[in-house]
Structure 1
Amino acid sequence: MILGLTRSWSLAGYSIAAVVILPLIALIVQAAFPDEAVFSHLFDTVLPTYIANSLLLMLLVGIGSLLIAVPAAWFVARCEFPGRRYFQWLLLLPLAMPAYIVAYVYTDMLDYAGPVQRALRAAFQWSSPHDYYFPAIRSLGGAAIMLSLVLFPYIYLLARTAFMEQSSSLLHASRIMGCSPWRSFWRLALPMSRPALAVGVALVAMETAADYATVSYFAVPTLTTAVYDTWLGYGSLTAAAKLSAIMLLVIFTLVGVERFARRKQELFQKQSALNDAERYRLDGLKAAGAWFYCSALLFLAFLLPFIVLTGYAIEYFDQSWDDRFWQYSWNSLYIAIVVSGICLLLALILMFVRRVSPRSTDSLPSRLSSTGYALPGTVLAIGVLVPLTYLDFAINDVYDWFGARGPGLVFTGSAIAIVFAFTVRFLAIAIGSLENSYKRISPSLDMASITMGQTPKQLLMRVHLPLLRKGLLAGALLVFIESMKELPAALLLRPIGFENLATYVFQFVSDEKLEHGALAAIVIVFVGLIPLIYLNRSLEHTS
């Protein structure tokens, strides 16, 4: 800690935190305003359905992702079978595939006019839907399956790490006491991994609550779609803020319940590196079963949608490779670059203040600034609209007072609103990346630098920055990818005539014409693979 830290640095940290949490504060204040017409109508008619569907969808996706991810994580972490080293990172690839694209691909295949049902009718001579039963893909259950296929890697990654870090001596002791591998897993390994699984399920539930595109495409009314429809359909910012506040209450309750459930759970074990000799060697049918399970999961969650997208992109390349594609790609690119730069700069200031400040309270700005990632895109968009709308009106009122013509919607009518929302949402990623990098820098370097007469600014520029290069690169990369993929906030905040790749693809999905947007979707997927390749390199060093 550096006693010579000037007040300006602390003031900068608190100022950043105040701006970042402004949308949340504005949302809560706006939700407190009366709105008898729209919200009362929603409350009396469809709001209970929205809430019930949201909670049920979160529950189903959480359970589905858990059931999918845990066996795969156990096979990869604790078993030896053909292809294990490849599956450990291949099973992360579904994270790069947007859920609404997966939903479209499977809907196209499984609908009444799709190839699966056509083949069934031809094989069994069925002539109409009354002759057989086929589950409806466009339903709440179908949406839960699609989201589970895309979101299970969150739980898989945490569970895999938890299984690998468990003490091998405990599992060996259970085997000596007569437990089969299955009983060792069920009675020892699974309970010890409960904290990681709980965190993974909470992450999946929050991502499910934040999803708009999939539930909208499947016509499943949830709180997310309600916020979107209330703002764009009814034009009521207050009603949308009230619905957003309900979503926040659901998410914060979920996080609170998860932490309360683990409040008294403590786990002490000796962690040791796992080598190949300590894994259960699977032979014969068991090895084939593990390989088949991981292969089927990879095929259904990533390879099949990717193959379909690639086919569409090749077939419709001439129609897709046009000026619009380049313009929307550029829009996505420059917004992602700007957001990445802003997030890195703000995160660097926040973490530097937290690092060198002698006051424990100076860690508060970085913590407050990390809350934006918990806000769903639609909720964040409403929170951003509230202060920026008032600011736009205030600017134009000042111009009117001087008898001049106002500039119009400077903030809400431009890409500034999108950049602000993305910065608030993804600043936590940059902070987390730099926090991990700062943990590897010895505090003695700070003391030595100050002893040699370095100012805080010189310490940051000459000592910290060179040592933070990898953390800065990783943070910039992750923020860039998330900015390229973010859809709900972009849909609500984009100015008239503005499209990026995510909104461009979603428009085609909504119109049942994904084949025309397949090339843009492929670009989004390939960009999303970059951090997974980076993560794969990290996994290979731990295996």
Structure 2
Amino acid sequence: MTAATGLERVSEGRPVRRIRHPLMLAAALAISAVVLTPIAALTVIALSGSGEDWPHLAANVLPTAAVTTAALIAMVSAGTALIGVTAAWLIVAFDFPLRRLASWALVLPLAVPPYLAAYAFGEFFLFTGPVQSALRAIFGFHTPQDYWFPDLRTTPGAAFVLTSVLYPYVYLTSRFVFLMQGRNIGDVARTLGAGPARVFFRVLLPVARPAIAAGVVLVLMETINDIGVAEYLGVRTLTSAIYTTWINRSSLEGAAQLAMLMLLVVLALLACEQFARRLQRFHNARATQLKARPPRTKLKGFKGLTALAAVAAPVLLGFGVPLWVFGRYASRRLDYLINADLGKAFLNSVLTASVTALLTVSLALFLLYAVRVSRSAPMRSVVRVASVGYALPGTILGLGLLFSLAQFDNRIDAIAREYLGFSTGLLLTGSAAAVVLACTIRFLALAEGAVRSGIEKLPSNLDDAARSLGKSPLGSAVSILAPLLKPAILTALVLVFVDTVKELSATILLRPFGFNTLATLVYENASRAVVEDGAIAALLIIATATVPVVLLSRALARDQDAFL
């Protein structure tokens, strides 16, 4: 046995120590350094400011933006947790009409970018939209003064839009954890006389708390980073304040300073999530029970229809409304289907999202496995640092990365000129690789949260038993852990792919000249006030994101095969 592995075999009668390989820590440090690079550049920009904008920001911007952001966070977290956990429990615990269809349809709103959902909801609930028109026709109203209708252009309205498309984050993490509990944990409670509701609140919900916390934190990060919904609905959040300070006041330093403040807020959220996970690790006594399918209670009649309505409502709102609105617009511009720019944007989106998903999930798997086998505080800290890229708005992250890549390219070019006699030009700045790098940094926490919710449910003695039988750490991870983590890995891949397809702000800054994705194509049409021209691209964003979402959901719907 070598000192590099630090592993003593169980078969020799000595306790198993965790692997402490220096190369593993070095690789994790390198990943974290790449993630921190744009943040470091942003810090340099923030510190270069004189601070002359702070009196105005502190008096007129921060109080309103902070209160609005806090209220938005509270409402979205409560709404997504309620919808996501309830839907996951209904799908896993009960059998009712169209349950299998609903099990994958519940994830469809994840394919809708929040900025598209805001526009669709604005049109759908407008005074001339179908909802208010129907109310006036039914009750005989004629003017807005005749009746009250909630205003979408408020903080609760923004929370409603964000909740309708972000709840699948909580639904996915909660659902596969409910499945991974196996049936014994619920059977024991049922044999003691507990009904389905009591089993859920007293047994399943506490056990799934870490996964629910992970999903809610991902939702909150998306909420804090959102700019499209806030700007369209006129809600002043911290993120919109950053954009306003940068664009309207022409103060890049002030925007960077606000971004650093928001980074502290998100780091506090991450710390709260870590605290919620502390001492919250549950797993079955035997790994073979992980494949047992939990039993489902048959619901008939009114109860079955109620359950169906409960899971159908969020799908119709989060996916059906945007599809209906943009479908109407697209039907008027069918000629745009043969547009060459649309085809190129589609291919760019799919390629960028695929590469980003594979790279990001691979890095997340490596980091989490490194924590699992080392059990060291330094490794846990390094992995936690690697998740902070999700804390920055896409534009600010893109700006920091653009500054960093320009410095890197200039340094390489100077070295090549001095020692090799030629110019390398720009290697990374303004390239597709820069877009992939930005999305990888941005969504590493997304992949890490999804995978970690699964890996923490696997008992540590799986690794020890495999290595005591001669398996290497890599062999143990590939042959033992990876098959059991299949739902978590698929979830992470889909989440990163979908979010990359929808990503807009960082792509606008970092893309090469003439390089369009579907999101930037929609943005360009919207900025020219020709929204109908972007309807086809908007539908393609939804369709492109829907395909992997449906494939994942159908895989999870096969409960008996979900962990093979």
Residue 148 (structure 1) shift: 0.8
Q: Is the 8 A contact 2:494 2:548 kept in 1?
A: yes
Of residues 383, 391, 398, the one that matches 1:381 is 398
Residue 255 (structure 1) shift: 2.4
Of residues 276, 294, 314, the one that matches 2:311 is 294
Q: Is the 8 A contact 1:320 1:517 kept in 2?
A: no
The equivalent residue for 2:38 is 23
In structure 1, how many angstroms separate the alpha carbons of the residues matched to 2:370 and 2:282?
A: 33
In structure 1, how many angstroms separate the alpha carbons of the residues matched to 2:293 and 2:417?
A: 73
In structure 2, what residue type is equivalent to 1:536?
A: R
Residue 60 (structure 1) shift: 0.6
In structure 1, what residue type is equivalent to 2:189?
A: L
Residue 146 (structure 1) shift: 1.1
Of residues 168, 187, 211, the one that matches 1:196 is 211
Q: Is the 8 A contact 1:373 1:426 kept in 2?
A: yes
Of residues 174, 187, 210, the one that matches 1:159 is 174
| Structure-2 change in CA distance of 1:313 and 1:387 (3 Å) | same
In structure 2, how many angstroms separate the alpha carbons of the residues matched to 1:10 and 1:259?
A: 21
The equivalent residue for 2:520 is 503
In structure 2, how many angstroms separate the alpha carbons of the residues matched to 1:375 and 1:88?
A: 32
| Structure-2 change in CA distance of 1:206 and 1:86 (3 Å) | same
Residue 190 of structure 2 corresponds to residue 172 of structure 1: yes
The equivalent residue for 1:524 is 541
Structure 2 residue matching 1:45: 3-state secondary structure: helix
Of residues 431, 441, 456, the one that matches 1:424 is 441
The equivalent residue for 1:488 is 505
In structure 1, how many angstroms separate the alpha carbons of the residues matched to 2:250 and 2:413?
A: 21
| Structure-2 change in CA distance of 1:15 and 1:109 (3 Å) | closer
Residue 225 (structure 1) shift: 1.8
Structure 2 residue matching 1:328: 3-state secondary structure: helix
What TM-score, normalized to structure 2? 0.77
In structure 1, how many angstroms separate the alpha carbons of the residues matched to 2:502 and 2:528?
A: 19
Of residues 92, 96, 109, the one that matches 2:111 is 96
Q: Is the 8 A contact 2:110 2:498 kept in 1?
A: no
Residue 395 (structure 1) shift: 7.9
Q: Is the 8 A contact 1:79 1:281 kept in 2?
A: yes
Residue 109 (structure 1) shift: 1.5
Query: Cα deviations across residues 254-305 of structure 1 (Å, max 9, x unaligned)?
Result: 22234435546676777776657x4332222111111222222322222342
The equivalent residue for 2:98 is 83
The equivalent residue for 1:453 is none
Structure 2 residue matching 1:113: 3-state secondary structure: coil
Residue 328 (structure 1) shift: 2.6
Residue 479 (structure 1) shift: 4.6
Moved more, 252-261 or 348-357: 348-357
In structure 1, how many angstroms separate the alpha carbons of the residues matched to 2:203 and 2:151?
A: 39
In structure 1, how many angstroms separate the alpha carbons of the residues matched to 2:73 and 2:115?
A: 16
| Structure-2 change in CA distance of 1:34 and 1:149 (3 Å) | same
How many residues end up aligned between the 2 structures?
529
Moved more, 267-276 or 241-250: 267-276
Q: Is the 8 A contact 1:227 1:378 kept in 2?
A: no
| Matching of residues 348-367 of structure 1 within 5 Å | none
* CA RMSD of superposed structures (Å): 4.5
Structure 2 residue matching 1:220: 3-state secondary structure: coil
| Matching of residues 394-405 of structure 1 within 5 Å | none
Residue 428 (structure 1) shift: 5.4
In structure 1, how many angstroms separate the alpha carbons of the residues matched to 2:327 and 2:528?
A: 19
In structure 2, how many angstroms separate the alpha carbons of the residues matched to 1:185 and 1:87?
A: 20
Q: Is the 8 A contact 2:353 2:501 kept in 1?
A: yes
In structure 2, how many angstroms separate the alpha carbons of the residues matched to 1:300 and 1:114?
A: 15
In structure 1, how many angstroms separate the alpha carbons of the residues matched to 2:242 and 2:409?
A: 22
Residue 245 of structure 2 corresponds to residue 230 of structure 1: yes
Q: Is the 8 A contact 2:186 2:204 kept in 1?
A: no
| Structure-2 change in CA distance of 1:248 and 1:314 (3 Å) | same
Q: Is the 8 A contact 2:386 2:445 kept in 1?
A: yes
The equivalent residue for 1:321 is 338
Residue 564 of structure 2 corresponds to residue 540 of structure 1: no
The equivalent residue for 1:50 is 65
In structure 1, what residue type is equivalent to 2:143?
A: S
Of residues 252, 260, 267, the one that matches 1:245 is 260
The equivalent residue for 1:144 is 159
- List gaps (5 residues or longer) in structure 2: 6-20
What TM-score, normalized to structure 1? 0.79
In structure 1, how many angstroms separate the alpha carbons of the residues matched to 2:200 and 2:378?
A: 43
Residue 314 (structure 1) shift: 3.6
| Structure-2 change in CA distance of 1:40 and 1:314 (3 Å) | same
In structure 1, how many angstroms separate the alpha carbons of the residues matched to 2:371 and 2:534?
A: 44
Q: Is the 8 A contact 1:241 1:383 kept in 2?
A: no
Q: Is the 8 A contact 2:293 2:559 kept in 1?
A: no
In structure 2, what residue type is equivalent to 1:108?
A: E
| Matching of residues 405-444 of structure 1 within 5 Å | 413=430, 415=432, 417-427=434-444
Structure 1 residue matching 2:72: 3-state secondary structure: helix
| Structure-2 change in CA distance of 1:37 and 1:149 (3 Å) | same
In structure 2, what residue type is equivalent to 1:295?
A: A
Q: Is the 8 A contact 2:215 2:449 kept in 1?
A: no
